[in-house]
Chain A
């Protein structure tokens, strides 16, 4: 995962409509902190950089560069677990 990747949810892996979990074939993955907000932005169209730019507007006072690093790391972990493609 890089700032220019375009992440997309893998079919059969999805955010629960209300709870802080991702539904995966064998169960659930618990999400912590702002992970849910990040995943809500993943649409298979925008790059990680664009997603972070959007999010930064919501989290006042957040440093966009730092946020980019965190989001790339988070999405990278989810991609490794098969939740995301791209």
Chain B
């Protein structure tokens, strides 16, 4: 089915290189090598194509975007194309001088992620001693003309400390706090048993988030996405396949979602060879799960299909081995029982598996 919506954001993983080794890293386990990374001139063309298609936001992410020496050039290219430029960073490798250069190049928003409120635990999760460094960076960020978001990544190991984490984020006085649950792809999937929260944890977290929202209203905007493993209906994954966003990996492959790379038998067109608008409108990968023709009869005749677009394809694939299966989170899925399996507590004696850089 052809595209019926205009993409709103372009997410660019400009590198998979990263000085951290987060347990929850969603980068693919086969990471793109730095030699295969798209050069700045290709990114520049892609940003211009994106702006011409009506895309408004450019999110530079990774890996760690700072690992690219030409990051300021990429930001400038996005800004000159007319895009709102955001970057997601661990902050490792940032200096005051470098930051000033990025802002001058046109950076408008920076998202700094924290692993925990407690230094030792945060460093354990990140596989690196980065926590104190990040805290030290905050005053530098606040001196710049820049919107600032603190990202809190939550999972089984830290969800019990959510209140503390929110308090830490609040003390840094950002414009926004974003609480996101890890997604179980890439390295995170290998560590799923360590990361999956218990139902009690999720039940504890929901009111904590609501209370913080109310308390911070008018001061700090709080967005939170908690896991759907305990829900009865799936969420619309990335706003629906091929409906809102395009992700470009370091080598230039265009994906409809962060983890689409895990789906077997899929070819992703590359922005080196194809224009972004062709990829959006015509590439087989973006067409694959648009509309409802691919859906099971259960979904096709269900009212919620306009809301969840059949749920997450990657989750369906990971859990059932069939990428066309109903998302097992859904009560109507014959494999909904699998969720019960996953929710079962696992021993804490499992060793973490860190990504290597």
Contacts and interface: CB of A to CB of B under 8 A. Distances in A.
A24 B176 CA distance: 11
B217 interface: yes
A80 B8 CA distance: 24
Contact of A12 (B8, B147, B218): B147
A80 B111 CA distance: 21
Interface size for chain A: under 10, 10 to 19, 20 to 34, or 35 or more residues? 10 to 19
Interface in B132-148: 144-148
A11 B57 contact: no
Contacts of B221: 26, 81-82
A28 interface: yes
Classify the interface of chain B: helix, strand, loop or mixed.
strand
Contact of B8 (A16, A27, A82): A27
Given A11-B146, A25-B149, 5 more contacts: A16-B56, A25-B108, A25-B147, A26-B176, A28-B8
27 contacts: A11-B108, A11-B145, A11-B146, A12-B109, A12-B148, A13-B147, A14-B84, A14-B108, A21-B56, A23-B56, A23-B57, A23-B84, A23-B108, A24-B147, A25-B108, A25-B111, A25-B149, A25-B175, A26-B176, A26-B221, A28-B8, A28-B56, A80-B218, A81-B221, A82-B176, A82-B220, A82-B221
A54 interface: no
A25 B56 contact: no
Classify the interface of chain A: helix, strand, loop or mixed.
loop
B56 A12 contact: no
A10 interface: yes
Contacts of A12: 108-109, 145-148, 175
Nearest to B145: A11
A6 B71 CA distance: 36
A26 B223 contact: yes
A16 B149 CA distance: 21
B86 interface: yes
Contacts of B217: 80
A25 B147 CA distance: 7
